Chain A
Amino acid sequence: MMKKVGALMSMALLALTSCTKKSEHIAIGPEDYHNSVDKVTEVMIHDIFSPPVASRIYVYPNIAAYEIMAKKNQDYQSLSGQLRDLDAVPEPGNKEELNYELAALISHIDLSRRLIFSEDRINVYRDSLYRTWENTNEKEFNVSKAYGLEVAEHVALWMDKDNYKQTRTMPKFTVNSNEPSRWQPTPPSYMDGIEPHWNKIRPFVIDSSAQFKPAPPPPFSMEEGSDFFNEVKEVYDISNQITAEGDDSEEVEIAQFWDCNPYVSVTRGHLMFATKKITPGAHWIGIVKIASRKANSDFAKTVYAYTKTSIAIADAFISCWDEKYRSNLIRPETLINEHIDDSWEPILQTPPFPEYTSGHSVVSGAAATALTSVFGDDFAFDDDTEVPYGLPVRSFTSFKQAADEAAISRMYGGIHYRKAVEIGIKQGRDLGQFVVDNLSMESK
């Protein structure tokens, strides 16, 4: 009996002490935001999202957080009216007690939760944070949470009209192997072409998915000496050359560093399993973190950098996928196996969608341009994004250099022809510049 009373008393005491903490401010810094983004990346790897879908999962939560941040911080301007169909987010009711950073973070977590599959994994993370914040300052937490969720809801309503749901039930890509130039599923999983309707997703800044439509690839011809044949042959020759040099060759290292394939199917004996990595977009999101940290960016600038980069990436995927299913170009692996060497395998596993243009090239071009606009040119950094996946750190002198390397890595990897890489990175840079030029985010 006595024990129970004692327990009750101590609980009451605890409650009291937590109440007395009322005045303590919940401090939210850039690291909290990095953690939230990392958490989303982690769940995305588990759930397996294709690169275009992954770009969508990054961008909306960032925009929600940015809009809240820009409400407070006069250095930044709202994106409403700048991003297609985005209306101004609601005004906060209780401005005095609102912690804008906290609200921004909460809205980021909440929207992310809606976008991934395994909600439990986000919920566990969120609930532990909520408990800490609630214990620190219940009032501030409740006010910020209410506003964060309100903005998340506002952005979600806008997001739900981006045609994503509709594209889920649109027709699958129809394989037609009678057309020699047309893309075909590739070994070992022979997966369906993913996201054939991604060009119907509402873009953010660009006018339409076709605004940065690249020049077409060289006309298909497997006649020796034709431009196209030479491109196929070049992939084969480079691959053989660097394979001969061994796994330690710079080119193989570059190819593997930028693989960024979320689902590589592996067969070993009777077992099948997947090695999973982050997507190309996620790699650049990782670079945002590296750059923000290196530049000692505050919370506001960190959110700004993530938002701008993820917008450029999202539009880049829309633009790139528009071209992929326009040209429907066959992958080097299919042609080399058919015409040159039936046992040839690319260094990287061929991803399940048409070849032209290279997604990683377009996205890297766009992301690097956005990052340059935030952190400046000649921003040197050590890229350790891929360390958790068993890959080394690589150092770059600028975002542009990193993007160039990411692009050429696809040729080394044996999954793209040269034109897809060269024209792809230009497509990405042009698009990135357009995004940078058309978005007024920093108040000048």
Chain B
Amino acid sequence: MNKIIAALAIGFLLAGCKKGGELFDTLLPEKTGIDFVNSITETNDLSILDYLYFYNGGGVAVGDVNNDNLPDIFFSGNQVKNKLYLNKGDLKFEDITDSSGLEGNSSWNTGSVMADVNGDGWLDIYVCAVVGINGFDGYNELYINNQDGTFTESASKYGLDFDSYSSSAAFFDYDTDGDLDLYLLNHAVHTSGSFGKASLRTKRNYETGDKLLRNDNGKFKDVSEEAGIYGGINGYGLGVAVSDFNVDGYPDIYVGNDFHEDDYYYLNNGDGTFTESLRTYFGHTTRFSMGSDVADINHDGLPDLISLDMLPEEEVPLKASEGDEDIQIQQLRTQQYGYHYQFTRNMLYVNQPDGKFMETALLSGVAATDWSWATLFADYNQDGNQDLFVANGIPKRPNDLDFIKFVSSDQIQSKINNTRLVDQKAMDMMPSGVHHNYIFQGRDDLTFEDMSTNWMIPEKLISGASAYGDLDNDGDLDLVVNNLNAPPSIYVNKTNNKANFLKVKLRFKGKNPYGIGTKVYAYTDGTLQFKELFPARGFQASSEPIVHFGFRQKELVDSLKVVWPDRTCQTIKNVLVNQELTLEPKNTKSHSGVSSNKVATPLFKLTDGNLGLQYLHKEDNYLDFNREKLIPYKISDRGPAFAVGDLNLDGKDDILLGGSKFDPTKVFLQQDSIFVPQNFEAIRKDSIKEQVSAIIADFTGNNKNDIVLGAAGGDFYGRSKRLTETYLIQKDTAFTDGTFPELFQNTSVVKPCDYDGDGDLDLFVGGHAETGNFGKAVPSYLLKNEKGVFTIDDSFDKVNGMVTDAIWNDFDGDGQKDLIVVGEWMSPLFLRNNDGQFEEAFDLEVSGLWQIIHPFDIDADGDMDYLLGNWGTNNKFNASKKSPLRMYYHDFDGNGQTETVVAIPKNNKYYTLEGLDGLAGQMVFLKKNYTSYSSFAGKTVEEIFSKEQLEESTIWEVNTLASGYLKNADGTFTFVPFKNELQVAPIMAFASYDFDADNEREVLVGGNYFGVKPYHGRFDSFPGALINNEKNIILGNQLGLDFTQKSLRHLHVLEMGGQSYLLAIFNNANLEVYQIMNRQKER
């Protein structure tokens, strides 16, 4: 059977190989002599039912084992014997397994890596194995190179003969004592139903727990416990990446764990111990973490990381497979069991100067590569940017919903339970997960372009462990992929002389001759490329121990800086490209080793006492998705309200902060150098409402400030008084209720302005949504103030929609304040004020999920531009003018309750975001129409719903997801998006001020948002940014700000006692006060 599959695969290769891809040719075994096939054989006793990682595949290691300057290839097989192929040049390989004694003795081999374990200048090979279950015997084997084409298995001599459940291993010098230590990655096999507490990871388990092994003069000692390495029963280790992530001179470790166990991020303390720090630096991670890789993708000298998962790109497998977990289960898992946020898709973590990671996989275009095992960053086309290869595929998709819910029980369940014989016919009902591998071209703006079908021949293979090396010594990087039931893929890179390269080999001293852990910085024209030599990377593999750069057409590298593992460094100037350069320590200087990721002179510094503003906004536990299961995001988490104004007639600005449902609004009075909380009875008794917008101003003309509070919360419904606004008039020293119209929508914003020019402050009240009826356009109102009494201005009917923000600003320069309104699923509305009458000035046709608008002359041309906070592009929505995002709003099942169905464009068709269970949970008729998941998967909106249903729907559209600004050119506005770093999350707040004391105002931006289902993830990694002008935008993590993992609502600058402070007000978190280190702008 396996032979047939192999033969078929070869047949496909033959058919497809004639042309090759633009960048890679696929070479056949006939040409290369590499005839290894990792065939796996299912038996009654051994299949995916017995061993959950039955399909994970073997390993591959590339390196020159005979020092003839040609990289050789070692493959480990699961059930078949391992093989070593000597590179004979001209891409011909000779199988020397027999003569070298490398075929192996374990029943089930997994990852394999090459490393010079004994430091003699010859590469040794370490082969991992799974031992002790399913009758597997053997142990992890260490083949020491005898320097004569033979190897001696010496694992027990070195103390590395583990008989446990190993996935892979990485040799590197963690304690920088000059020899190579080992991180051994193991995996659990238990399938207990309960998550179990996260603390299980602290109880060590020999078989399943990862291990850190210190090399003590050739004997490896397990130092896991003392070094702070977890080794519990719940560690499903599939990925390990070693890198000096925080660039402090000590290598750190990222471990990817499958299933519900968190990934581990071990920061090296430099004293032989590690501190697991995932939660501090990562807002969320992959859920079913598999392989990973590290490289600096954005030329900032900081290693970035990708971790793989298994999200399919195509609609059919996407909708037929189990998706992300239910939001309530996620809450249980994170809050009750102590795990971190995990989502089912690849994650690309871009390392930031403060050590935190900005996660951009969706924005970058690398989130969905199907069932993915191995990934390797490298500059395959030598254009100076890192490209990305992903190997994927699984013979059967065990997460197929039809299989889980229907087929399995009918067809095989009794067999499994009674005879444990898996009927082949039943297994065949699980759909195949064969998919072509992916390769992406890296670009300058954090994005990657899918070149899978251009650069290579897209073969349908089950691919796993992958390694790169320059097999033909032509300077570019070739790829070797260990496949399941088929010969390995040998992808030969044809870049050759189309772009320039530099290949660096390192000759370090002592027991680390290959210089593992060395950093190389290459500068050309001010652009940095940064590499570290850690050959164990990808998945169950190690790549050739070289450092490779691409330089496009550049002939000369301005300088090359090498930082050796002992933290000494040397710099070589003017290096010619297109050569193999061998470097050894020479004229080295001591390298500080001080982490570069500390902000030296921060512009913002957190205050110690918060100026007395001890305010925690606690969101109530109302969950919108329990009531309206299909809405795209919450409407209940838009608070808190925030307002500034003098409430006690002492001339100092006081602060008001709204509470969520059942939490009273709080007032802090400004004293000389501190704020103190003050209880106002009229405000406190109003605690049931959820207040999201507030204004402090004198509405009655008695020179005492009054208060208006806008109510929302998304929970109270109908004509509940809890939805109406609060209007408190200050008379004497007490507040009493004023007259205000009863508005029952969820209010988003209240903005005062004397729009009718009668000398008092009138109000705009923005309507966001009607509770329980999301998708219905709600009116916004102008309220006329007459002697402190507000009435609805009936002449105003210009705004119906889902308003989120508004400003009064004279955009036409006629001296009257005009009204600009933004909202979700709508274009910004510019309403010209003609003596109190309003007309729409122009139609912008930039519909977005706008959150906020802020006037700012960003191009410094003297007229006003408008900054706009949108949803960003780092999410699963997808919109353009040609193919807008859509939301259908209708009572689809005619039961009196409306539904919203969000659909995204994909290949010119519209598909629902929700799967069958989600949609049918609200619209039962779909269960009757689609009695299987496969019948539903791949169906467009037009196929799922009838023509009538769609015609009767209100269709909302969004054509722009990017945040940006409306650039004013002589009164004509054009939308300009911000750069990608500002698109990683929704932007929720702006504040203008001369932050850096250069006598020019800048705008500070912040955001992040969590009110979405696990399907979307968490938009948690936007660090904030300071916008100086169109071209000059600095991220907050370089300024001392920390806005990550919190969802910002308001930014406000406060001057007090000669100092300036920044107030950052978050939803469901503590208010934070930064001191603005008001200094003259440098440079």
Contacts and interface: CB of A to CB of B under 8 A. Distances in A.
A175 B331 contact: yes
A268 B403 CA distance: 13
A337 B626 contact: no
30 contacts: A48-B405, A120-B931, A166-B896, A168-B893, A169-B893, A170-B627, A172-B328, A172-B625, A173-B626, A175-B331, A178-B621, A184-B336, A185-B332, A189-B193, A192-B328, A269-B52, A270-B48, A271-B408, A272-B399, A273-B408, A273-B412, A274-B408, A275-B413, A275-B417, A276-B409, A342-B197, A343-B192, A345-B193, A345-B194, A390-B414
A173 B625 CA distance: 11
Chain B CB within 10 Å, residue with most, of A169, A174, A185, A342: A169
A133 interface: no
Contacts of A171: 626-627
Interface string B322-344: 10001011011101100000000
Contact of B922 (A168, A187, A266, A337): A168
A165 interface: yes
Interface in A255-273: 265-273
Interface string A100-135: 000000000000000001111000000000000000
A275 B416 CA distance: 11
A46 interface: yes
A268 B190 CA distance: 9
Contacts of A270: 48, 52-55, 398
Contact of A175 (B52, B332, B629): B332
A273 B409 contact: yes
A91 interface: no
A190 B329 CA distance: 6
Interface string A340-384: 001101000000000000000000000000000000000000000
A274 B626 contact: no
Given A47-B931, A119-B928, A272-B404, A185 B329 contact: yes
Interface string A153-183: 0000000000001101111111111100000
By Cβ-Cβ distance, the 10 closest A-B pairs, closest first, are A188-B193, A273-B408, A187-B194, A270-B52, A172-B626, A187-B193, A171-B627, A169-B897, A269-B52, A118-B931
B1034 interface: no
A114 B27 CA distance: 58
A190 B332 contact: yes
Interface in B31-77: 47-55
A150 B621 CA distance: 49
B615 to A, nearest CB: 21
A179 B196 CA distance: 20
A265 B403 CA distance: 12
Contact of A177 (B332, B409, B623, B626): B332
B582 interface: no
A125 to B, nearest CB: 15
B405 A274 contact: yes
A218 to B, nearest CB: 24
B931 A117 contact: yes
Interface residues of B, number: 57
Contact of A268 (B49, B336, B629, B931): B49
Contacts of A267: 191, 193
Contacts of A188: 192-194
B942 interface: no
Interface string B403-441: 111101110111011100000000000000000000000
B717 to A, nearest CB: 11
B924 A168 contact: yes
A170 B413 CA distance: 34
Given A120-B931, A184-B336, 6 more contacts: A46-B410, A173-B626, A175-B331, A274-B405, A275-B413, A345-B193
B136 interface: no
B927 interface: yes
B335 A177 contact: yes
Nearest to B622: A174
A266 B629 CA distance: 27
Contacts of A170: 627
B895 interface: yes
Interface of A: 46-48, 117-120, 165-166, 168-178, 184-185, 187-190, 192, 265-276, 337, 342-343, 345, 390
Interface string B755-796: 000000000000000000000000000000000000000000
A46 B406 contact: yes
B195 interface: yes
B48 A271 contact: yes
Contacts of A272: 322, 398-399, 404
Nearest to B404: A272
A166 B621 contact: no
Contacts of A274: 404-405, 408-409, 413
Contacts of A46: 406, 410
Contact of A269 (B48, B197, B326, B405): B48
B336 A177 contact: yes
B51 A269 contact: yes
A48 B332 CA distance: 25
A96 to B, nearest CB: 37
A187 B260 CA distance: 13
Contacts of A268: 49, 191, 416
A269 B895 contact: no
Contacts of A169: 629, 893, 895, 897, 899, 922
B196 A342 contact: yes
Interface in B669-720: none
B621 A174 contact: yes
Contact of A165 (B196, B399, B895): B895
Contacts of B896: 166
Contacts of A345: 193-194
Contacts of B193: 187-189, 265, 267, 345
A271 B626 contact: no
B1008 to A, nearest CB: 24
Nearest to B329: A190
B329 A275 contact: no
Contacts of B333: 190
A118 B931 CA distance: 6
B990 to A, nearest CB: 34
A172 B629 CA distance: 8
Interface in B140-189: none
Contacts of B410: 46
B772 to A, nearest CB: 9
A358 B899 CA distance: 34
B406 to A, nearest CB: 7
Contacts of A192: 326, 328
Nearest to A271: B398
Contacts of A174: 328, 621-623, 626
A276 B414 CA distance: 11
Nearest to B55: A270
Contacts of B931: 47, 117-118, 120
A83 B192 CA distance: 47
Nearest to A264: B409
B1035 to A, nearest CB: 36
Contact of B191 (A120, A185, A269): A269
B194 A271 contact: no
A273 B623 contact: no
A353 to B, nearest CB: 14
A192 B410 CA distance: 24
Contacts of B626: 171-174
A269 B621 contact: no
Interface string B981-1015: 00000000000000000000000000000000000
A114 to B, nearest CB: 9
Contacts of B627: 170-172
Nearest to A176: B621
Contacts of B194: 187-188, 337, 345
A171 B197 CA distance: 29
A266 B191 CA distance: 10
B928 A165 contact: no
